[in-house]
Structure 1
C-alpha cells in the first residue's frame, strides 16, 4: 500500500502544479452535458494524474470525471475528480479540492483530498489513522457530537434536494444546530478536523465520494448512503457523512421522513 500512497501523493502534486497557475485567472469555461462548469484546469489536471498512474501502476484501472473509465473492472481502480468544486474554483474561492481515491475490488481503501491553493492535504488508508498536513493548522479527529441538535450540518447546495423531494433533508436541517452551504469536498476535510459534524448530499458520483470514505473513517467518522448502507460503485449517489457514528441512527431516521 505504501507504493500506492506515494503514487497518489505524486499525482496530487502534479495536479496541483497544473491547477495553481490557473486559480483566479481568466479561464475559458464551457458547459458540460449536465450544465456544470468545466475549465481547462479540470482536464489538464486529470490528464496529469492519469499519465502518472499509467506509468507507475499500468495494471490499474481508472475512472475519472473528465475522461471516463479505463479498465473499470480491474482489481485496483483509481477514481479521480481533478477539481471537486469547480464553481468555487472559477469564482476564486479556495473551497475546491483534488480527490484521488483507490478502490480494491469495488471497495474504497485509499483516499486523498488535496487543496492546491492552501497547501492542505488529507490522506486516508483503510485500517489506519488519517494523516493531515497544511500551513493553516488543525488536528485530525472527528469530534464527539451524539446529539443532532448540537450538530453543525454542511451541504454543498440546497439544489441537490429539489422541492417535493427534500422532506427528509429539511427535517434533518431543522433538527441540526446550524446549516452551512458550500464547501464541496473541503467540508469533509473539515469534518476530519473536528469542525463539521454532518454532511448530507445527493446526486453524487463515485469520483465525488470515493476518496472521502477512507479519509473520514480514518478520522473516526462514518460515510454511508442515506439509509446507512456502505457506498459502492453502484450506489445511487446519496451520501451521509457523520463525524460521530452515534449520530448515524438519528440522521437516517430524519432523512427517511
Structure 2
C-alpha cells in the first residue's frame, strides 16, 4: 500500500519536484549541443557514456533535496543510494538518454520520481531543450510545453494491429529479448525507435500505444511509471508484475493491449 499523502504535503512534493527539474534544466542546457563535450565510458564491454552534464544536474537536484527534504532517501544514477528516514525516496536520472544527449537529439530527459516501498507515486519527465515537462501523480496528469498546457491521457487502442510501438534500441537487449520484442512489433501497425524516456511521455500523451524495453535500471523507470499510470496507462514487467525496480518493461495504453502484448512475449521467450 502507498503512503497516505494529504493535499498540503502533495503540494509541497510537487514544488520540490519542479524545483529539481528547474535546477537540472539549467545544468543540462549549459552543456547540450556544445561541441567538444567529452563523455566518459562507464562500460568496459561497450559504450555507456556519462558527461559533466549528468553529474552537474544530479548534484543540483541533490542540493535542492538537502535543503527541502533532508530526511528523504535518494536513489540517483550517478551518486548512488542515500538512505532516508521518512519512508520516501526520490529516484533521479539526471539525463536519461545520454547517448542521445551527446548526439544532439532532443529526445533525452531529466527523470524525477517520488516513491515509497510500494513504488512510484509521483513523477516528472522533463525535456529541457524543447521546454516540455510531463508530470503525473497526486491527482495531476499534465504536460506543459511550447504550446501551453495539456492534460495527459493515454489512447484507447486495444489491439496490436492498431498500435504504434516504441523501443529505444532495435536490438532491445539479449537475443531472446529482441526476438520477443520483434514478435510483438510484427503485429503492430507502426514501430519506432530511439526515444529513451521520451517514449513513455508520448505514451502518456496518447501519441503511441506501447513501449517495450529490457535491461533498464530503477532510475530509468520510476518517473515514467508514475507519469504513464497518472495518464491512465499500465506499466509492468514482462510477467505482469511491478516494474519499478527495472529490468524488462512493458507500458501500454489499455489493459487489453497490455494482455495481448504479454501473450506474444511469453510465447516468444
C-alpha distance after superposition, 1:39-93 (max 9, x if no partner): 1000000000011101100100001001110106751001110000111111111
State the partner residue of 2:4. none
Identify which of 147, 162, 172 aligns with 1:150: 162
User: Are 2:34 and 1:28 aligned?
Assistant: no
C-alpha distance in 2 between matches for 1:57 and 1:16: 20
Q: What pairs up with 1:183-194 in 2 under 5 angstroms?
A: 183-194=195-206
C-alpha distance in 2 between matches for 1:107 and 1:115: 23
State the partner residue of 2:12. 3
Identify which of 6, 17, 21 aligns with 2:26: 17
Q: What pairs up with 1:210-221 in 2 under 5 angstroms?
A: 210-221=222-233
What SS class does the counterpart of residue 118 from structure 1 fall into?
Answer: coil
User: Are 2:142 and 1:131 aligned?
Assistant: yes
Q: Give yes or no for contact 1:12–1:49 (8 Å, CA) kept in 2.
A: yes
Q: Give yes or no for contact 2:225–2:244 (8 Å, CA) kept in 1.
A: no
C-alpha distance after superposition, 1:148-174 (max 9, x if no partner): 011000000023233244332121011
C-alpha distance in 2 between matches for 1:114 and 1:232: 19
What SS class does the counterpart of residue 142 from structure 1 fall into?
Answer: coil
Alpha-carbon RMSD across the aligned residues, in angstroms, is: 1.6
Where structure 1 has 5 or more consecutive residues not aligned to the other structure, the ranges are none
Identify which of 227, 239, 245 aligns with 2:249: 239
State the partner residue of 2:83. 71
Question: Structure 1's 22 and 5: CA in aligned 2 closer, same or farther, altered over 3 A?
Answer: same
Question: Structure 1's 106 and 174: CA in aligned 2 closer, same or farther, altered over 3 A?
Answer: same
Q: Give yes or no for contact 1:63–1:72 (8 Å, CA) kept in 2.
A: no
Where structure 2 has 5 or more consecutive residues not aligned to the other structure, the ranges are 1-9
Alpha-carbon shift at residue 227 of structure 1 (Å): 1.3
State the partner residue of 2:192. 180
Alignment length, in residue pairs?
A: 254
C-alpha distance in 1 between matches for 2:177 and 2:224: 25
C-alpha distance after superposition, 1:180-226 (max 9, x if no partner): 00111111111111101000000000100000111111111111111
C-alpha distance in 1 between matches for 2:24 and 2:163: 34
State the partner residue of 1:256. 266
User: Are 2:171 and 1:171 aligned?
Assistant: no
User: Are 2:90 and 1:81 aligned?
Assistant: no
C-alpha distance in 2 between matches for 1:193 and 1:249: 21
Question: Structure 1's 42 and 175: CA in aligned 2 closer, same or farther, altered over 3 A?
Answer: same
| Segment of structure 1 superposing worse, 131-140 or 200-209 | 131-140
C-alpha distance in 1 between matches for 2:37 and 2:173: 30
